[in-house]
Amino acid sequence: MCSCGELHWGWGRCAPGPVLLLSLLLSAAPAALMGEETRRVSLEVIPNWRGPPQNLLHIRAVGTNSTLHYVWSSLGPPAGLLVATNTPNSFLTVNWSRLLSPEPDEGLMILPKDSIQFSSALVFTRLFEFDITNISETVKFPGKPYPPYSLAEFSWNNITDSLDPATLSTTFQGHPIHDSTKAFANGSLNFRVQAFSKSGRPAQPPRLLHTADTCQLEVALVGASPRGNHSLFGLEVATLSQGADCPSVQEQHSIDDEYAPAVFQLNQLLWNSFPSGFMQWRPVAFSQKQGSRESALPCQVSPPHHTLTYPLPQSPIVRAFFGSKTNFCAFNLTFGASAGPGYWDQHYLSWSMLLGVGSPPVDTLSPLVLGIMAVALGAPGLLLLGGSLILLLCHKRSSEYQPLN
Ligand SMILES: *[C@@H]1O[C@H](CO)[C@@H](O)[C@H](O)[C@H]1NC(C)=O
Ligand SMILES: *[C@@H]1O[C@H](CO)[C@@H](O)[C@H](O)[C@H]1NC(C)=O
Ligand SMILES: *[C@@H]1O[C@H](CO)[C@@H](O)[C@H](O)[C@H]1NC(C)=O
Ligand SMILES: *[C@@H]1O[C@H](CO)[C@@H](O)[C@H](O)[C@H]1NC(C)=O
Ligand SMILES: *[C@@H]1O[C@H](CO)[C@@H](O)[C@H](O)[C@H]1NC(C)=O
Ligand SMILES: *[C@@H]1O[C@H](CO)[C@@H](O)[C@H](O)[C@H]1NC(C)=O
Ligand SMILES: *[C@@H]1O[C@H](CO)[C@@H](O)[C@H](O)[C@H]1NC(C)=O
């Protein structure tokens, strides 16, 4: 799987160098957020009058000069489309008979086509479970895999029942259609989708800063019986490659841990285009509903690579929008480590990410630090401040936090 040894979990290293620190300080102004500040957001479940009922959610986020469309569906494996247009008037059309046919091309479109500035998609293909008990020279992290769950073979609840216009959210709750081991008798895999009309930060860790240009996805595995005593879970995600290369995953260091204790990193997947879209997450998952430092698990990502060698389950909405001439890249996320908290504690695991367009949100510094900066004028002052911050952070980290592994 991934080159786990090279992944740095918050505690691994000391604070970033002075140049990076300076650029972090300079980019910390609250006005650094790009795009529209507020949007009119609507959530609509698109009904299928003629065929079998299927979950198809359209989120439309309208600004003065642009509209973002998010389409989420559990038709096939759970998938989401992100389409950004440069007009407030773009709209979605769905031809159900085409979408449900073996050739779904153009069964789902955003019109007018020439208003589209950016588009991409995510498909959640498989849920992995590994036995972490016997990690050795021969059995590498994350351990011996159990047979994976194909998310294309899940059945999903009716998202209309959990649609909440107040929080602009809904939940896709699924379990395997053929659950011979009854592992999901009392459990489910949940994809909670939430849109935002303005920027802010949720109360629950990892408290990712969102803007009106983003949509949040929280994936939670709740109550499913693990197949061993020490099971670690993973998720396979596929996305479109733009051009020959797969999108890249970047690590960003954050010097402020006020909002996600002890997690000094942000991971970002960026599609290689302009304007671009992004997927952003903190490399942390939680083994309890009330996420806290005690229930934090590391989340590791493998580098995205082309999937020409093995077939991925097809998502009809992705095929419908992008056609058949598309290349996919896939990567794995794994949640947990061989020691520390795990899914086994409470049969609970959750992880969140943002999907959006433009520049990914940048964590601003806390008011205290900004206040100090206002006093410390000029670059030498900033460098000095940077130096002492590094010392403070290093000291704080080495004294307060225990490594997970
Ligand atoms: C969900 O429920 C709504 C209202 O109860 C119904 O109109 C719709 O057909 C259902 N959709 C699915 C996917 O079952
Ligand atoms: C919207 O477009 C108009 C005309 O192109 C431009 O003057 C205006 O600044 C844009 N507004 C925003 C918020 O981008
Ligand atoms: C929907 O697709 C079907 C099959 O391709 C086609 O016959 C029909 O005309 C389409 N309907 C609309 C409203 O475009
Ligand atoms: C772990 O390894 C030991 C020794 O090789 C073996 O006895 C045991 O059955 C293994 N446990 C599992 C769960 O595979
Ligand atoms: C599911 O929950 C019921 C009631 O709490 C319990 O009796 C049953 O053993 C559980 N099944 C599994 C597979 O965990
Ligand atoms: C799981 O733990 C129980 C009790 O500690 C033990 O009896 C059982 O052998 C373990 N199962 C495996 C697969 O390691
Ligand atoms: C994800 O991990 C599984 C199990 O180790 C592996 O079979 C699969 O090829 C991986 N997928 C990707 C995209 O790396």
Q: Mean pLDDT for the chain?
A: 84
Residue with tokens 């879970």: 233
Q: CA-based angle 380:385:389, to the nearest 5?
A: 150
Instruction: Indicate if ligand 3 lies below 6 Å from the C-beta of 98.
Output: yes
Nearest CA to ligand 2 atom 11: 65
Report yes or no on 46 lying in a domain. no
Judge whether 60 and 388 are in contact, CB under 8 Å. Answer: no
Distance between Cα 228 and ligand 6 center (Å):
8
Nearest CA to ligand 4 atom 14: 134
Report yes or no on 233 lying in a domain. yes
**Structure token pair of residue 306:** 């082309």
Question: How many domains in the chain?
Answer: 1
Alpha carbons 345 and 230: distance in angstroms, whole number: 10
Q: Which atom of ligand 4 is nearest to the CA of 144?
A: 14
pLDDT at 390: 60
Report yes or no on 321 lying in a domain. yes
Residues facing residue 164 across a β-bridge? 169
DSSP 3-state of 40 = strand
Q: CA-based angle 82:254:336, to the nearest 5?
A: 75
Q: Which atom of ligand 4 is nearest to the CA of 134?
A: 1
Task: Write the DSSP assignment of 297-329 as a string of letters.
Answer: EEEEEPPPEE-TTSPPPPPHHHHHHH-S---EE
Distance between Cα 345 and ligand 4 center (Å):
21
pLDDT at 13: 32
What pLDDT, in 10s, does the model give residues 237-289? Answer: 999 987 788 999 998 876 655 665 556 688 999 998 888 899 999 999 999 99
Instruction: Indicate if ligand 2 lies below 6 Å from the C-beta of 358.
Output: no
Q: Which atom of ligand 2 is nearest to the CA of 64?
A: 13
Instruction: Indicate if ligand 7 lies below 6 Å from the C-beta of 287.
Output: no
In this structure, the chain runs to a length of 405
Distance between Cα 98 and ligand 3 center (Å):
7
Nearest CA to ligand 4 atom 2: 134
Report yes or no on 22 lying in a domain. yes
**Structure token pair of residue 152:** 């294309």
CA proximity to 231, closest of 156, 327, 297, 161: 297
Report yes or no on 114 lying in a domain. no
Alpha carbons 149 and 129: distance in angstroms, whole number: 8
Q: Is the pLDDT of residue 196 over 90?
A: yes
pLDDT at 261: 55
Report yes or no on 273 lying in a domain. yes
Instruction: Indicate if ligand 3 lies below 6 Å from the C-beta of 133.
Output: no
Nearest CA to ligand 4 atom 13: 133
Could you tell me the CA-to-CA distances from 328 to 73, 166, 233, 304, 364 in Å, in that order? 18, 35, 23, 9, 34
Report yes or no on 80 lying in a domain. no
pLDDT at 27: 40
DSSP 3-state of 53 = coil
Contacts of 308 (CB under 8 A, 6+ apart): 327
Q: Is the pLDDT of residue 234 over 70?
A: yes
pTM of this prediction?
0.84
Alpha carbons 81 and 68: distance in angstroms, whole number: 10
Report yes or no on 329 lying in a domain. yes
Burial of 166 from C-beta contacts in 10 A (0-12 / 13-18 / 19+): exposed
Nearest CA to ligand 4 atom 3: 134
Phi then psi for residue 254, to 5 deg, are: -120, 135
What pLDDT, in 10s, does the model give residues 284-336? Answer: 999 999 988 889 999 999 999 998 777 889 999 999 999 988 899 999 999 99
Instruction: Indicate if ligand 7 lies below 6 Å from the C-beta of 239.
Output: no
DSSP 3-state of 119 = strand
Q: Prior bond to 53 cis, omega within 30? A: no
Containing structural domain, residue 332: 4-38+123-368
Instruction: Indicate if ligand 6 lies below 6 Å from the C-beta of 228.
Output: yes
Nearest CA to ligand 1 atom 9: 53
Phi then psi for residue 150, to 5 deg, are: -85, 120
